Structure 1
Amino acid sequence: MKVAFVEPHLGLFGGIRRILELANRLTDRGVETTVFHPEGTPCEWMECRARVRPSARLLEESQDVVIYNDPNPEDFGLVRRAPARLRVFYVLELYETSLLPGFHPMIYRPRHQRTLYMKRSLKAGYLLLTNATWLTTFLSDRLGLESTLLLGGVNREMFHPVKREPNDGFRVLCSGDPRPRKGTDDIRAAVELARRSCPEIRLDTYHGRGVPQHEMARVYGAADLFVEASHQAGWNNPAAEAMACGVPLVCTDIGGVRDFAVHERTALLAPPGDVPAIAAAIVRMVQDDALRGRLVAAGLESIDRFDWDRSADRLIEILERSLAREAAHA
């Protein structure tokens, strides 16, 4: 089987990690796998065992399967023209969910190009995969679309518990991603509020500091608490990674965490954008050692279910079944 992934770039983003983790494991299983992106240059931050080629080369050779996940006009057009037996749109995020059900391209196109190509991709008749349960539910309930759930995993070679050294004070870690939807400003405000009760709190971030991937377990493991306050996400990699590293987790109650983060069981959850609620959860964590220990133990057990090898095996099964169905109807 020949499988092509079409990406807009190979930069350090959660969606790209997902594709590379799958591409690596498909390659390991004997699937002829190629990742196409505009420059065709190797990935600089993570190993990629699949072939990497410039996007334009996709049109020069036939594929059994072409998979894309970013709803932009370039990738949409490229996939539509690619010689392939099966086209797959892997939904990693829905972005403007409030617009999608009643979206009218002629009205929204100038300001909402991503939503335009999201809806075009969803309506193209391709096989739809989703990377979180809430996405599958939304597509079915709000848009009447059938999709297949393909949950991802956590790379245990990179993200795992490490021996911790005692901290001075109480170290709270967040990614520090400056994009507004990531909620970093909410975290900073919540920490300032929490310091009124717990002045020993100090806040650290890792975004933009060039930390090599093989050192991320050490970065997570040095924290007493990880806080993630995204307003929306298809799947939340930092929260899952922190949980896999055995770090107590406070996060916002969004679809992107609900497959693994359960309030009072594996994490403490707060409504998105609710700074006082996030602050209250932080204070509870600081003041209750037993709570942190209980959530960490349950979190490690929960996140263990998410495994890239199982995801890759499931993807191969889905693709083979879909190709057989296409052949039967040819």
Structure 2
Amino acid sequence: MKIVFPVISLETGGTRFIYQLANEMMDKGHNVEIVLPEKAAVAWPLRAQVTRVKELTPSTIPSADFLLPNFYPTVFPAWESKKGRVVRLSLGYEPLWVAEKEKALASYHINAPIISISEWHRQIILQETGKNSTVIPGGVDTSVFSPCPKKSLSTGRLTIAYILRSREHGYTWKGSEDFWEACRGLSQLVPGFDIQVVAPEGANYQAPLPYEIVKAQADSDMARFYAQADIFVSTSYFEAFSMPPLEAMACGTAVVTTDNGGNRDYTKNGENCFLVPPSDTHQLTLVLAHLLTQEAVRNRVALNGLQFAQSWTWRHAANKLESLLYQLAQS
């Protein structure tokens, strides 16, 4: 079948869903095309056809069996084009954070099936719009995200890894202030650990502790960043799925994450990770102190996470998407 993904850009973050699904559907023998504005960034190695247009309008959307718009501004050109059956791919419930809340909400009320990416995400959409959706969860490429020797083996100091996305760049829900507050308290309980961060937007935070910024231009760089650390931390208040903790698990690193909703499908507190309530910096500090000082616990959680992540493949996600589209084609 012919599938078109109209997108605003394919930068880092949640657009990985589109890149991975597009490539997997290509590998399954489908004709997949990505259409995006001529100056839009593309951060991923796509095997699907990429078509650049001056802007996304009904006239520039290619014809297809299915059109899968994602971010809310892409929904209306796809819907108005009448060039294929629209399936609204939601990578996050936008009214929670965008300024154009009414327009974002309207993108869920077109007469089109909706794809969500976690059970929590499905529930939020249902609660806010009355519309049900089909869950197609994310995955992880374990051929890339896999273990390598820990940096602490050579330095003698345990490393905490964190992805820094700041309020100044619009990421008001990522909880970066909570991370630094927890680290400040942690330094008084367990001195002598290192902090490494990846800052995708170049954020430079006035932190209470020294930290090293790691440049990660490709998945292989991110995999090394996760794998060389002893603990990976995620502090989001909410996420539709939240891929970094799953990627860190696949790299054999112990994960501490907030219970952000979207990660409930794959997190098991005390087994493959440790969950803390969003904004609870005191509990985050205590859990980090526990993992830094209890090597056996840290290793057990890391090993469980590594084993658990193996079944979360992008091919599984593509199989679910293919099954849904075939079902819709027959209805």
Pair in the same fold by TM > 0.5? yes
Mapping of residues 308-323 of structure 1, within 5 Å: 308-323=314-329
Distance across 2 between alignment mates of 1:241 and 1:135:
19
Q: Which one of 254, 259, 269 corresponds to residue 260 of structure 2?
A: 254
Matched-pair contact (CA < 8 Å) for 2:66–2:84? yes
Mapping of residues 149-168 of structure 1, within 5 Å: 149-165=135-151, 166=153, 167-168=155-156
Structure 2: give runs of 5+ residues left out of the alignment: 201-214
Aligned twin of 2:205 = none
Q: Which one of 74, 83, 99 corresponds to residue 112 of structure 1?
A: 99
Aligned twin of 1:20 = 19
Matched-pair contact (CA < 8 Å) for 1:226–1:250? yes
The Cα shift of 1:87 comes to 0.4
Mapping of residues 173-184 of structure 1, within 5 Å: 173-178=161-166, 179-184=171-176
Mapping of residues 165-244 of structure 1, within 5 Å: 165=151, 166=153, 167-178=155-166, 179-208=171-200, 209-244=215-250
Distance across 2 between alignment mates of 1:145 and 1:26:
26
Matched-pair contact (CA < 8 Å) for 1:59–1:81? no
Distance across 2 between alignment mates of 1:145 and 1:212:
37
2:120 corresponds to 1:134: yes
Mapping of residues 282-293 of structure 1, within 5 Å: 282-293=288-299
Aligned twin of 2:313 = 307
Q: Is 195-204 or 53-62 further displaced after alignment?
A: 53-62
Matched-pair contact (CA < 8 Å) for 1:42–1:52? no
Matched-pair contact (CA < 8 Å) for 1:136–1:147? yes
Matched-pair contact (CA < 8 Å) for 2:6–2:35? yes
TM-score by length of 2: 0.87
Distance across 2 between alignment mates of 1:236 and 1:245:
16
Q: Matched residues, percent identical?
A: 24
1:180 partner SS: coil
Q: Which one of 272, 277, 282 corresponds to residue 278 of structure 2?
A: 272
Mapping of residues 45-84 of structure 1, within 5 Å: 45-55=43-53, 56=56, 59=59, 61-72=62-73, 75-84=74-83
Q: Is 289-298 or 219-228 further displaced after alignment?
A: 289-298
C-alpha RMSD of matched pairs (Å): 2.0
Matched-pair contact (CA < 8 Å) for 2:95–2:102? no
The amino acid of 1:177's aligned partner reads R
Matched-pair contact (CA < 8 Å) for 1:132–1:150? yes
Deviations 1:96-122 (A, max 9, x none): 45x9xxxxxxxxxxx830x22332121
The Cα shift of 1:305 comes to 2.5
The amino acid of 1:290's aligned partner reads A
The Cα shift of 1:153 comes to 0.6
Distance across 2 between alignment mates of 1:137 and 1:174:
28
TM-score by length of 1: 0.87
Q: Is 266-275 or 132-141 further displaced after alignment?
A: 132-141
Q: How many residues are paired up?
A: 308
Distance across 2 between alignment mates of 1:41 and 1:287:
46
Distance across 2 between alignment mates of 1:70 and 1:142:
17
Closer/same/farther in 2, CA of residues 63 and 259 from structure 1, 3 Å limit? same
Deviations 1:177-223 (A, max 9, x none): 22231112211110110111100122110123343222222111111
Matched-pair contact (CA < 8 Å) for 1:190–1:278? yes
Aligned twin of 1:328 = none
2:121 corresponds to 1:123: no
The amino acid of 2:80's aligned partner reads R
Aligned twin of 1:106 = none
Closer/same/farther in 2, CA of residues 144 and 41 from structure 1, 3 Å limit? closer
The Cα shift of 1:171 comes to 0.8
Distance across 2 between alignment mates of 1:94 and 1:180:
15
2:196 partner SS: strand
The Cα shift of 1:57 comes to 8.1
Closer/same/farther in 2, CA of residues 252 and 42 from structure 1, 3 Å limit? closer
The Cα shift of 1:52 comes to 0.7
Matched-pair contact (CA < 8 Å) for 1:7–1:36? yes
1:138 partner SS: helix
The amino acid of 2:147's aligned partner reads P
Distance across 2 between alignment mates of 1:86 and 1:301:
39
Distance across 1 between alignment mates of 2:144 and 2:176:
24
Distance across 2 between alignment mates of 1:57 and 1:96:
22
More helix by share: 1
